[in-house]
C-alpha cells in the first residue's frame, strides 16, 4: 500500500492515466519498459505489470509483441476536438462546393470545423485519407465512398473507426458489404427511371444509356432505365448501353458517340449518367455536325451548373446543399448518441425531373 491507502499498482495506473489524459503521454508514444518502470518507481515487476494490464484493459495503452507498449491511438479521439472530417471523391467542381457548403452551414453553427479531403474516386487514395485522419483529432467522419459498386478494399480501416469510437456516415453511395452502416442516398433507380420515361413519353423508342460501372449510382440509374423500358414494352438491348469507368470517363463517352454517328447507329435519345457526361455527349454530337435536340435528345442527372447553361439540359434535381445539411445533421446525431430509431434525418432523397431544352417530342 502507498501512503494514500491505495495499492501501489493502482497508484501507478492512475498516474499514467493522468499523463495520458493530460497529453503528457501522446497517442502512439512508446512507454518505458517494465524494467524501466520498476527502477523509476522502485516497484516490483509484478506490480508494474498489473498497472499496465489495467490500462490496457481500459484501452489507454496497447502492447505490441516484440516492439513494446504504446499509448493507444484511440486516446487521440477521446477528447472533443470539434473537428469533422469530410472525404469526397472530388472537391473543386461540379456538385461538391454546394454540398460542402451545406455541411458547413450546420456544423459551423454548432461550433464544428471541417477537415476536407478528396480521393479522386480512388480506393487507394481513400485508404490513405483514412490512415491520415487517424493521426488527427476528429469527432466524426462524413465520407463519399470511392468506386462504391466495387467491394471495399480496406474494411479494417472502418473497423478502426469503430474501435476508436469515431462515428461515420456514408453519402451518395455505400459499399454493398456495409449497407447496415448509417448513410444518406438519392433514389437513383427512381431518377434513372424518370429521365428514361420522359424520353419515352416524347415518342423516343430507341434510347441509349451511358452509365458508370464502378459507382453504385451508375448501377442504380441503369436499373431505372431498364424498368422504364420494360414498362413501355421495349425489350432491353445491352448493345444500346455504354458502360464506362472512372479512368475512362473523359474519353469513352465521346468516343462511343462518334462511333455511333460513324456507323449510322445513332439512337433517338441518350440517357446520361450525369450532367458532365451529358455535356461531353452533346459536344461530341455537335463536333459531328448534329444538333441537340433537333437531331437527338439528351438527358443528364444532378441539375448542376452544366445543366443550367443556355437552353439547359433535361436532368434530375440534386439537392446538393440540402444533402450536405442532412449529412451534417446525421453525423451530429451519431456524435450525440442518437439511436437509429430516434433519428430525425431522412435517409433516401426522392428525385425530381427538371425539363429543359435538350429534348424534343418526336412527330
Tell if the pTM clears 0.85, that is, is over it.
no
Please report how many Cα atoms fall inside a 13 Å half-sphere around the Cα of residue 255, on the Cβ side.
Answer: 8
pLDDT at position 171 over 90? yes
The chain-wide mean pLDDT, for the chain, equals 93
Residue 1 has pLDDT above 60, yes or no: no
Sheet with 113-118: list strands edge to edge. Answer: 113-118, 83-88, 140-143, 168-171, 183-186, 348-349
* Three-state secondary structure call for residue 113: strand
Residues forming a β-bridge with 140: 84
Looking at the chain, the whole-number percentage of residues with pLDDT higher than 90 is 83
User: What cell does 198 get?
Assistant: 420522359
Q: Could you give the CA distance from residue 321 to residue 102 in angstroms, rounded to a whole number?
A: 4
Which grid cell is 133?
A: 485522419
- pLDDT recorded at residue 260: 97
Which range has the worst mean pLDDT, 44-48, 134-138, 272-276, 324-328? 134-138
Domains identified in the chain and CATH numbers: 8-76 (1.10.10.10), 80-185+320-346 (3.40.50.2300), 188-318 (3.40.50.2300)
Q: Tell me whether residue 348 is exposed, middle or buried, using C-beta atoms within 10 angstroms of its C-beta: 0 to 12, 13 to 18, 19 or more.
A: exposed
230-269 confidence digits (pLDDT tens): 999 999 999 999 999 999 999 999 999 999 999 999 999 9
pLDDT of 4 reads 61
Instruction: Please say if the pLDDT value at position 324 is more than 90.
Output: yes
SS3 of residue 153 by DSSP: coil
Contact yes or no for 37/48 (Cβ under 8 A): yes
Beta bridge partners of 116: 86
- How far is residue 253's CA from residue 189's CA, in Å, rounded to a whole number? 21
* Cα–Cα dist 162/151, whole Å: 19
What b-and-e string marks burial along 285-319, b requiring 16 or more CB atoms within 10 Å of the CB?
beeeeeebbeebbbbbbbbbebbeeeebbbbbbbb
Q: Average pLDDT for residues 302-310, to the nearest whole number?
A: 93
CA dihedral 173, 176, 178, 180 (to 10 degrees): 90
Q: Is the pLDDT of residue 160 over 90?
A: no
List phi, psi (to 5°) of 341.
-65, -30
Give the pLDDT of residue 163.
Answer: 81
Rounded CA-CA distance 359/312 in Å is 10
Q: Tell me, what's the pLDDT at 276?
A: 95
Amino acid at each position: 500500500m502507498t501512503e494514500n491507502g491505495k495499492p501501489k499498482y493502482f497508484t501507478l495506473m492512475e498516474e499514467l492515466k493522468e499523463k495520458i489524459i493530460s497529453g503528457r503521454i501522446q497517442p502512439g508514444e512508446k512507454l518505458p519498459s517494465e524494467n524501466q518502470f520498476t527502477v523509476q518507481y522502485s516497484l516490483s515487476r509484478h506490480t508494474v505489470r498489473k498497472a499496465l494490464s489495467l490500462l490496457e484493459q481500459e484501452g489507454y495503452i496497447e502492447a505490441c509483441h516484440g516492439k513494446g507498449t504504446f499509448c493507444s491511438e484511440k486516446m487521440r479521439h477521446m477528447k472533443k476536438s470539434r473537428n469533422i472530417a469530410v472525404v469526397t471523391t472530388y472537391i473543386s467542381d461540379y456538385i461538391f462546393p454546394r454540398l460542402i457548403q451545406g455541411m458547413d452551414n450546420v456544423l459551423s453553427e454548432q461550433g464544428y470545423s471541417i477537415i476536407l479531403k478528396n480521393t479522386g474516386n480512388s480506393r487507394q487514395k481513400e485508404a490513405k485519407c483514412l490512415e491520415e485522419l487517424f493521426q488527427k483529432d476528429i469527432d466524426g467522419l462524413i465520407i463519399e465512398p470511392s468506386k462504391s459498386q466495387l467491394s471495399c478494399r480496406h474494411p479494417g480501416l472502418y473497423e478502426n473507426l469503430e474501435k476508436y469510437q469515431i462515428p461515420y456516415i456514408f453519402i451518395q453511395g455505400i459499399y454493398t458489404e456495409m449497407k447496415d452502416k448509417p448513410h444518406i442516398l438519392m433514389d437513383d433507380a427512381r431518377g434513372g427511371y424518370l429521365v428514361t420515361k420522359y424520353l419515352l413519353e416524347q415518342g423516343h423508342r430507341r434510347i441509349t444509356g451511358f452509365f458508370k460501372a464502378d459507382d453504385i449510382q451508375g448501377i442504380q440509374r441503369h436499373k431505372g432505365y431498364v424498368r422504364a423500358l420494360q414498362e413501355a414494352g421495349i425489350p432491353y438491348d445491352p448493345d444500346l448501353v455504354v458502360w464506362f469507368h472512372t479512368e475512362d470517363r473523359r474519353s469513352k463517352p465521346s468516343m462511343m458517340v462518334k462511333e455511333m454517328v460513324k456507323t449510322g447507329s445513332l439512337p433517338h435519345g441518350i440517357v446520361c449518367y450525369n450532367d458532365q457526361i451529358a455535356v461531353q455527349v452533346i459536344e461530341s454530337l455537335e463536333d459531328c455536325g448534329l444538333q441537340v435536340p433537333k437531331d437527338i435528345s439528351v438527358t443528364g442527372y444532378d441539375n448542376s451548373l452544366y445543366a443550367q447553361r443556355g437552353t439547359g439540359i433535361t436532368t434530375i434535381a440534386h439537392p446538393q446543399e440540402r444533402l450536405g445539411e442532412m449529412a451534417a445533421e446525421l453525423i451530429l446525431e451519431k456524435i450525440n448518441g442518437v439511436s437509429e430509431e430516434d433519428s430525425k434525418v431522412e435517409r433516401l432523397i426522392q428525385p425530381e425531373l427538371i425539363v429543359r431544352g435538350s429534348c424534343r417530342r418526336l412527330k
